[in-house]
Amino acid sequence: MLELRLVQGSLLKKVLESIKDLVNDANFDFSSSGFSLQSMDSSHVALVALLLKSEGFEHYRCDRNTSMGMNLGNMSKMLKCAGNDDIITIKGDDGSDTVTFMFESPTQDKIADFEMKLMDIDSEHLGIPEAEYHAIVKMPSAEFARICKDLASIGDTVVISVTKEGVKFSTRGDIGTANIVLRQNTTVDKPEDATVIEMNEPVSMTFALRYMNSFTKATPLSNTVTISMSPDLPVVVEYKIAEMGYVRFYLAPKMEE
């Protein structure tokens, strides 16, 4: 028996919107402490890791660990039928080949349930070790989205370089080049507007902008984004979900030929 009631249902809608274009289908792993998902895109270049902890739910019941394979496009279609203020409940029964999403309006005058077929998914799980990163940049998520969108109109790849001077995003394309430098800026009115650079060693890496732009679909989940880089590791782009968990995107770098 599985029953999870999320008062802030819009959060689940936002999570799905942030990952459904990167990953077609995925296993949702439910346990008593919360639920998680890990899935690579079809080219094995990017990976999404989602965690939503049980504490963030108004009601959370998971009698035994269970994994449910869901098509994220279909799940997104169903969650789009929930209002932004709706309470969303996910229900499942042991051995069933369906999952039910229940949507309740805040005034309880409209209650809908949508039953979705589950699917068998051969998931390839990767072990992601804890790592010490050379540089960690925390910045406003909207600023990061703006930079990725702007650079993608000039080139296909972005070089992200972190030095003690700041973080530089560079691209080049047929029409020319672009460089955007952000300096550490902690003298802001609101902490979420700060750019904070933690650097142990300078690092410079190249990534495909197409993926970075896909990750920025998670912008509505968090005011800030954290970018962690080490030369011998995929970059981690993390959007924290307040009080509940995170959506992390891992992206393999491009290497010099």
Partner 1 sequence: LGSQTVLPIYFRHL
> Which amino acid, 148?
C
User: Using the rule CB under 8 A, which residue among 116, 178, 180, 252 binds partner 1?
Assistant: 252
Binding residues for partner 1 restricted to 56-115, rule: CB under 8 A = none
Binding residues for partner 1 restricted to 123-162, rule: CB under 8 A = 124-129, 155-157
| Residue 208 binding partner 1, by CB under 8 A | yes
- How many residues touch partner 1 (CB under 8 A)? 27
- At which residue do the structure tokens 């790849």 appear? 157
Binding residues for partner 1 restricted to 32-61, rule: CB under 8 A = 40, 43-47
| Residue 26 binding partner 1, by CB under 8 A | no
| Residue 177 binding partner 1, by CB under 8 A | no
User: Using the rule CB under 8 A, which residue among 88, 203, 221, 233 binds partner 1?
Assistant: 233
Nearer to partner 1, 48 or 82 (CB): 48
The contacts found for 111-116 with CB under 8 angstroms, 24 or more apart, are: 112/81, 112/82, 114/78, 114/81, 116/70, 116/74, 116/75, 116/78
Whether 227 contacts 196, CB under 8 Å:
no
| Residue 243 binding partner 1, by CB under 8 A | no
Nearest-5° Cα angle at 132, 136 to 193: 15
Nearer to partner 1, 82 or 208 (CB): 208
CB of 127 to partner 1, least distance (A): 5
CB of 248 to partner 1, least distance (A): 13
Q: Quote the CA–CA distance of 9 and 17 in Å, as a whole number.
A: 13
Whether 42 contacts 26, CB under 8 Å:
no
Pairing type for strands 2-6 and 203-208 reads unpaired
CB of 167 to partner 1, least distance (A): 19
Q: Quote the CA–CA distance of 250 and 150 in Å, as a whole number.
A: 21
Interacting residue ranges for partner 1, rule: CB under 8 A: 40, 43-47, 124-129, 155-157, 206, 208, 232-234, 250, 252-257
